[in-house]
Amino acid sequence: MFADSAKIFIKSGKGGDGHVSFRRELFVPDGGPDGGDGGKGGDIVFVVDKGLNTLTDFRHVRKYVAESGEEGGKKRCHGKDGQDLIIKVPEGTVIKDDATGKVIADMSAGNEREIILRGGRGGKGNQHYATATMQVPKYAQPGKPSQELWVRLELKVIADVGLVGYPNVGKSTFLSRVTNAKPKIANYHFTTLNPNLGVVDLDNGDGFVIADIPGIIEGASEGVGLGHQFLRHIERTKVLIHIVDAASTEGRDPIEDIKVISDELRAYNEGLMNRPQVIAANKIDVLYDENNEVLDALKAEFEPQGIKVFPISAVSGKGVKELLYYVNDLLKTVDPEPIIFEREFFEEDLIDDASQPYTVEKLEDGVFLVDGPRVERMLGYTNLDSEKGFAFFQNFLKNNGIIDELEALGIEEGDTVRVSYVEFEYYK
């Protein structure tokens, strides 16, 4: 079966710990500290593989963990960095935080490589902690922790035009006639499971990509049947073609079918109904008279709403060319840029866990301590050596009320603030 959604666990590598050691050589019995830094943990990197077209592989392997950095060594030896873990996905895959549903990355429109989780930085060896008053530091910085996350992968096909309609109305037959796609076609009373794509080439050199979206039924927006799996593929399309059985060969009411499908599209994503639409009244080859009451009723109902109705036969090809050129003209009226899902989930969402505690206390005159899992976690992911990283950490302290708590305890300019294992001088 076509797999277009998967839930997986990803975890970056932990940073290697810094090393504690001292130079020991002949005739140098009391050498200084020479502990090396730990290696950086591996990143979790998603890469587009254009040879893939499903997420089937993720049904068998659900846990992905990058390599951790190695501990630093003697003689200032740097620990080996952990290897990045490359995860290959089809083009069009949207990566979401499973807990919140927020978009982390959209692997389409040229975005072919994205670092989703960064490995922890390696800890500094004791060589960095020697001072005039502490010449024998027996402390090294631990490696920064890894990041981990449950993510939801959703494959949303990349097509300009989407074919929607109930099962067995002729979508697959239409697609096979107008493109090079070769979907399986038969008189089934159930739906195609695979979204089939094809390229329409017109005589004037224009063309577009069209997708046969598997049959949508009533209740699809609420997950009935395979509703959500099918509906997500419509989100990138720019024009919708409703295909209906104008001959009512199975006793269906084509007007009611269009209304039901429109309601499901609206319930799933209100914006879908703002896109240009057209109705393909299929199977006119079965009708005795093209000017029958069903076609007249379709035109009377929908053309006043700006939705043009084309009588066609996907079997014989009658009326198909006129429909395709009309759809091509509709595409010229919409934004040519591909539909991309903007990022909603950022690194700070992962780092700052409000459920973790912290404490602020005065140790002695001029010395204050800010500590706890939440602060240490944030500190571990922040590069204090960069201006941007330092400003980010300052904003964290301010936005979480830590600065206010320090001032309430009587802190003054020039006082020392110990934040976990790092010391700062306080200035307003």
53-62 confidence digits (pLDDT tens): 778 888 888 9
Q: What percent of the chain has pLDDT over 90?
A: 24
Instruction: Evaluate if pTM is beyond 0.95.
Output: no
On the question of pLDDT at 380 being above 50, the answer is yes
**Under the phi-then-psi rule, with left for phi > 0, alpha for psi from -120 to 50, and beta for the rest, what region is 168?**
left
Tokens, residue 34: 């020479």
CA dist 396 and 351 (Å) reads: 11
Name the more confident of 225 and 139.
139
What's the token pair of residue 99?
A: 């807990």
d(CA 92, CA 157) in angstroms, rounded, equals 6
Tell me the C-alpha distance between 195 and 212, whole Å.
6
CB of 351 closer than 8 Å to CB of 205:
no
Distance CA 379, CA 395 (A): 12
* Residue 211 contacts residue 163 (beta carbons within 8 Å): yes
Structure-block tokens of residue 292: 């029958």
CB-facing half-sphere around the CA of 427: CA atoms within 13 A: 2
> pLDDT by residue (tens digit) across 215-258?
565 544 444 444 455 677 788 889 999 999 888 777 778 898 89
pLDDT digits (tens, 9 = 90+) for 11-67: 999 999 999 888 877 666 667 888 899 999 999 999 999 888 778 888 888 999 999
- Per-residue CA distances from 102 to 8, 64, 73, 349 (Å): 15, 20, 41, 10
pLDDT at residue number 239: 93
- H or E element: which one contains 154? strand 148-155
pLDDT in tens, 111-122: 899 999 989 889
